[in-house]
Structure 1
C-alpha cells in the first residue's frame, strides 16, 4: 500500500519560498484498528530514520523550515491546514492522515477540532529552523531550501516508495 496525493507548491508566495518538490499527502496512512495513533506514527517514522520530535497541533501562523523536510502524522481530530503561504490551498487533514512537507513550504493551521493533534518528525540528524512569511528574507531562504537534500527513506514506506518515487522523479 503505497498511496499518496501530490500537491505542487513550487512558486514563492510573499516571503514563503515553497519548493519544486511536491508535498505528499498520505490519506489514512494509519490503519483504522490502531488504538494508540501517536505511538503508531512515532514508531513508523522512527523505524524509517525520521525520529519523532513532538506531539502538538500545527502553529496557527504561516511558518516554514529552510533546512529540512517535515512529516506530520495526524493521530487525533481534524484540521484545515493552509499550505504554501497566505494564498495557498487549504486541505483538511483527519485522524490517520500523514503529510510530508518539503523544506520551504509554508504551513499553518486555519481551523481544528478541539482534539486535533499531530506527531512531527524530521530526517535523522536534522533539527528544524523556523522562518515566518517575511518577504525581505526570500532571497536567503530560497538559497537555503535549494541546498536541502532528498532523504534516503520515506517516513512511512522506508525504502519502498513514497518520496523515493515522487521526489526522485523531480531530480
Structure 2
C-alpha cells in the first residue's frame, strides 16, 4: 500500500564522505557519512518537520525529535543518526578537522556511529528532525575521556535494516556493507 509519505522522497544518489579519526572525534572506521541532497519534496503545503518525521518512522527509524543541532562538537558511539533538514543552516561534520556543509530544506544526512557534528551558523528558523534506527542506544560523547569506550562500541553498532528515506531497498546498504 502506497501512502502520501511514499510519494515525497525523490530518487537521489548518496554522496558519501569518509572522515578520519582526529584524536577527539573517532568517526566511523568503515562507514561513510551519507548525504542526500534535496531528497524530500517539501514544495507543497506540508509541514516539513512532520514530513520528515513520518518518512523516518515509516522506514523504521524512530525516537524522532525536532530541534537544532548542538553548537559544540559531539558524536554518538552506540547508535547511528539521521538528520532531516526542515529549514537549513551550516553544520560541520567529522569534528574540528571535518567538513562544513550548508544544508537546505529537503536534505537528509545519515551519520554512522562516531561521526562528529556541530552547528556553526543558522538563521532563526533552522529546524532539524532527527531519528534513530531501532538497534542501538543513544549516548552523547564530547570529551577525550569518552574515546576508549567509544572505540570499542562504534564498530559493534549494526547496519540498519532500512534506509531512513528509501526503505529496505534504499541506497544506504551499498556504502554501509556488512564487513566480515
Same fold (TM over 0.5): yes
CA distance in 2, matches of 1:29, 1:102: 18
Task: Please tell me whether residue 153 in structure 1 is matched to residue 162 in structure 2.
Answer: yes
Q: Which residue of 37, 55, 75 maps to 2:86? A: 75
Contact 1:2-1:157 at 8 Å conserved across structures: no
Gaps of 5+ in 2: 1-10
How far 1:32 moved relative to its partner? 3.7
TM-score (norm 1): 0.92
Structure 1: gaps spanning 5 or more residues? none
Aligned pair partner of 1:55 in 41, 53, 66: 66
- Write the deviation string for residues 79-129 of structure 1: whole angstroms up to 9, x where unpaired: 111111111111111111010011001000011111000100000254410
Structure 1 pair 146–124 and aligned structure 2 pair: CA distance change class (3 A): same
CA distance in 1, matches of 2:101, 2:12: 20
Q: Does 1:129 align with 2:159?
A: no
Distance 1:137 1:32 in 2: 38
Matches within 5 A, 1:79-94: 79-94=89-104
Query: In structure 1, the residue corresponding to 2:149 is in which secondary structure?
Result: helix
User: CA 1:125/1:111 → structure 2, altered by over 3 Å: closer, same or farther?
Assistant: same
Alpha-carbon offset, residue 23 of structure 1: 0.6
After superposition, the CA RMSD in angstroms is 1.6
> How many residues align structurally?
168
Corresponding residue for residue 52 of structure 2: 41
TM-score, length-scaled by structure 2: 0.87
Q: 4+ residue runs of structure 1 moved beyond 4 angstroms? A: none
Q: Distance in 1 between matches of 2:17 and 2:135?
A: 26
Match of 1:7 in 2: 17
**TM superposition shift of 1:67:** 0.5
In the alignment, the residues of structure 2 paired with residue 139 and residue 67 of structure 1 have an alpha-carbon distance, to the nearest angstrom, of 13
